[in-house]
Chains A and B, each alone.
Chain A
Amino acid sequence: MSRTGCVWCPDWPVIAARRHADNIGNDELRSRPLIVRERVGSRDVVRCASADARAVGVTRGMRRREAEARCPEAVCIDADEANEARTFEVVARAIEEFTPRVVLERPGRCEFPTRGPSRYFGGDDALAAKIRDGVAAVLGPDGDDVRIGIADGVFVARLAARRSVVVPAGGSAEYVAPWPVSVLDDDDLASLLVRLGLPTLGAVAALAPDAVLARFGSEGRRIHELARGIDPGPSVLIAPPPDLVERTELDPPAERVDIAAFAAKELADRLLERLAERGLACTRVLVEAETEHGERLTRCWRNARSELGDALTAGVLAERVRWQLDAWINTGETTAGITGLALIPDEVVPADGRQLGFWGGDQVAHQRADRALARVQGILGYDAVTTAVVQGGRTAGEQVRFVPWGEPREVELPLAVGSEVAAWPGALPPPFPARVFDPPVPAELVDVGGNAIAVNGRGEQPRPPTHVRCRALPAGGGAVRAWAGPWPYDVRWWDVRARRRGARWQVVVNNVACVVVVEGGRAAVEAIYD
């Protein structure tokens, strides 16, 4: 187990956003509390909040709406991970002054082996102080809260960085014992352990190893080891086969991030595919770039939770490489276009998640589909390839959310009171229309006298509809054979500007069933049962 140092800049998304704002001359973010939000599935949650926002109760993972209610004066901005990575590049470079082997895990946190540099600079404490000064110097006013921990192994070093301490060699077990199990970064497991009466890592460590192995399997054994402060890294390390280095030449040289990143994406796919052919996966990778002027830049990235053996997936790897290229190109480290890119697997473990599914879950078919769909995304754009997720809503259009291919599909469970599933007021029951027009196609809904149908404030129509005319209907519409409605709706009545009122009918015209909506005196066909 090697001595490892960990540098952690708390609230990095906030620092990165403020530094970016400084660069473009926007000083509003400095003077007011700041909330950085991100989308997790369908939820809009707080990714990070500045210290003054946290002081009034804004916490990470809180819904944005609640956070804004608690801290109304805060500025709320979207997370920009590329900017976070770009800004962190200066920190990584400052640490490289002291040690050449910096491993980035995510923007805001990186690790490095300390054996050599500690000996050179006169001990762990001296090295930590030097690096802290170095990082604080490049960060200026944002560098007040840079935390450095040094301990045995990555996991303990990361915990040490939270308190900015140096854990002496062999003191890991004692240091990790009081930490709660939530630091294992696995919410399901943490909640289970707490329910089992094991709130701290010390309590887990006190269990008999074979009992943990029997209950949780090999992952449990690793957790038990981590709880005892033993961090052997991924269970089985294999020397990376030297012929697996993926290289590509860029001609003409790439001066823009997106061009280089596009090449890098292919490289990442190819690297993981070739590793997979040998039953391997990669937890740490070296990104290397060469420019026209002969500059050679390298940076090492590792996957989060790689101490538990989680390997990089193609998407995660491509994202890391993209961040790195962005950081190099946009912080002026490259003085010319990039002519060559290489991905070098640095830490390789046996792949364990590639077993073919036993029932149904056919991995091969999935991968084939995945490749084809990714290709179509390359042709049409990321958002053009989607899968649909059913969600709550009034209209057929609102009841579906289209999630870009490759993003997590978070299925929303319907609101249930007891065993009753709560119905959406105003939603039409099944069958559902197979063609939904968004925006609705303008139409005419008229009565016998040819007057447009309108609905009064009480949701009543004075005369029944007899004709519908619309270009979306065959033969342009015609006489109404059967109809039901109107079903009035009043959406967002609390917001004067966003309020929408109208009514809906189900209508059968010429044997074609459709949904007609009248809003603000204008009729439109919203959907056809095709």
Chain B
Amino acid sequence: MVAALSPSLPRRDEHARAQLRAAATRAAPAVLAGDRLLAVAGPIGHLLPAGGIRRGSTVALDGPPGAGSTTVALLLAAATTSVGEWVAVVDPAGTLGARAAAEVGVALERCAIVRPVAPDRWATVVGALIDGVSLVAAVVPPGLRPGDARRLTARARERATVLVALGPWPVEASLRLHAQGRDWSGLVVGGGLLAPSEIDVRVEGKGVRALAQARAQAG
């Protein structure tokens, strides 16, 4: 009896398995690239490949003082806090204007500001923060060792945290943003008031249209 039944069992099983496999392919929980993307709203988002920043990537952001690099970093932080996640800003000199952060939409209660930070502790602190929050925006101290920078890049990739390095980043980055200046209006000679202005940002990196350049509204 058992012997008569047994040849039919594997066949039925195989059929069921095939069906199951087909069903599984249809319903497989594939991780889409879009799920691992931190969407950035506004004109800055239009500049970025796929409209946002991939989690785990390192963004090097630079520009002379007053060109708007801090505001661009704050816009990226605002995109993170607006989806309920946490950011940390490492501000070694202690000069971040938190009022401006609130103005561009950063939820201050989910934004830890770390300051002041001695240059020799910088890498340790940024590493610890990468473990805990979704985006770390850190002002790079002069003379950062490439080894430390590479380690932090790897750690950010592993933890799916975005690392925004403000200043001269000594190693390669997934994305490079250069703030190139702002066009101020509203203020004339002897009167008026500053009006919110646009920032010229140039983007370099994989998946970016050659020399994408556009203006991002800030403030």
Contacts and interface: CB of A to CB of B under 8 A. Distances in A.
Contacts of A481: 189
Contacts of A510: 66
A375 B128 contact: yes
B55 to A, nearest CB: 13
Interface string B41-67: 000000000000000000000001111
A400 interface: yes
Contacts of A527: 97
Nearest to B132: A372
B28 to A, nearest CB: 25
B98 A390 contact: yes
B126 to A, nearest CB: 9
A370 to B, nearest CB: 8
Nearest to B190: A464
Given A484-B193, A530-B66, A369 B86 contact: yes
B76 interface: no
B193 A474 contact: no
A361 interface: yes
A382 interface: no
A400 B98 contact: yes
Interface footprint category on A = 35 or more
Interface stretch (B14-22, B30-38, B113-121): B113-121
Interface residues of B, number: 59
B219 A430 contact: yes
A472 B65 contact: yes
Interface stretch (A42-50, A109-117, A128-136, A431-439): A431-439
A386 B113 contact: yes
B9 interface: no
A431 B97 contact: no
A368 B134 CA distance: 10
Residue of B97, B190, B195 with most chain A CB atoms under a 10 A cut-off:
B97
Contacts of A472: 65
A401 B96 CA distance: 12
A368 B132 CA distance: 5
B183 interface: yes
A380 B120 CA distance: 11
A437 B94 CA distance: 8
Nearest to B218: A431
A439 to B, nearest CB: 11
A436 B134 CA distance: 25
A380 B189 CA distance: 45
Interface string B91-110: 00011111111110000111
Nearest to A378: B128
Interface string A371-390: 11101100110001111111
A508 B129 contact: no
B150 to A, nearest CB: 21
24 contacts: A365-B86, A368-B132, A371-B132, A372-B128, A376-B128, A379-B124, A380-B117, A386-B113, A387-B108, A387-B113, A388-B101, A388-B108, A390-B102, A428-B193, A431-B196, A432-B219, A434-B97, A435-B96, A438-B94, A483-B190, A511-B182, A512-B65, A529-B194, A530-B65
Interface of B: 64-71, 74, 84-86, 88, 94-103, 108-117, 121, 124-125, 128-129, 131-134, 181-184, 187-197, 218-219
Given A384-B114, A400-B97, 5 more contacts: A368-B132, A369-B133, A409-B109, A435-B70, A530-B66
